[in-house]
Amino acid sequence: MLQANTKRLNEIRKSTAKVLDNLVTSQKLILKALESCDEEIYEDTKRPIKGISQQINEIDQSIVTVCSLYSPEAKDLREMVAFLKITSSLQRIVTNEKNYIKNMNICNQKTDEEMRTIIIDSLAINRCTIKALEYSIDMVNESEDRDRLIELASKIEVEASKTDDIYGLIEKSILQSMNKDHMLKDEYVNLLKYIRKNLKIIERLEDISSRLIFARIGGTL
């Protein structure tokens, strides 16, 4: 029974890491598309996350099946509970990423220079998000080394802190520009909203990190 639980838990870890890896691929394509405002590349960003919600639902079903049929003990049960909450965070990440992809098609060859400059500046957030996603994959795969887990969690916190600072600078710059021109530019307000959608991804990765720490080390979930 213990061996069966371990096998199924490893499968859940592997499936979760795969979902995160698909999100990394999507973010890298988004970054590439927005760096050049290339509409053709932009269309490719949707492919890595096509059907990803179904993959997350399947992870949920696997967890429920294991808990119902195999009665995992203490440590394994704690990890199952953590992964059940992690899938909820993953669904929110997917929703934010899809909204971001949908709305950032404002970047194209007709986009004015000022808008493109803001978008290019915002891509520092994407780079931080990619790093945080990669650290999250490492955390999912690392089940034994407590120090390594804590180190990875700390790195995710650092990237999240950077994104807050970057967003704050972009927001300040846009507001100063609108104040200087004495007008409210709806397209810039909307752009901030879209960037914020992307920013929320790394916030959810912090949630995942804390749940993995709970699963592997203990504490409060």
Low-confidence ranges of the chain (pLDDT < 70): 1-4, 181-184, 219-221
What is the value of pTM for the model shown?
0.90
- Residue 210 identity (one-letter amino acid): S
Q: Which uninterrupted H or E stretch holds 45?
A: none
Which CATH code for domain 2-216?
1.20.58.220
35-63 residue pLDDT tens: 888 777 877 888 999 999 999 999 999 99
The Cα–Cα gap between 63 and 73 comes to 14
Q: Name the token pair of 43.
A: 């269309």
For position 205, what pLDDT does the model report?
A: 97
Domain ranges of the chain: 2-216
For position 114, what pLDDT does the model report?
A: 83
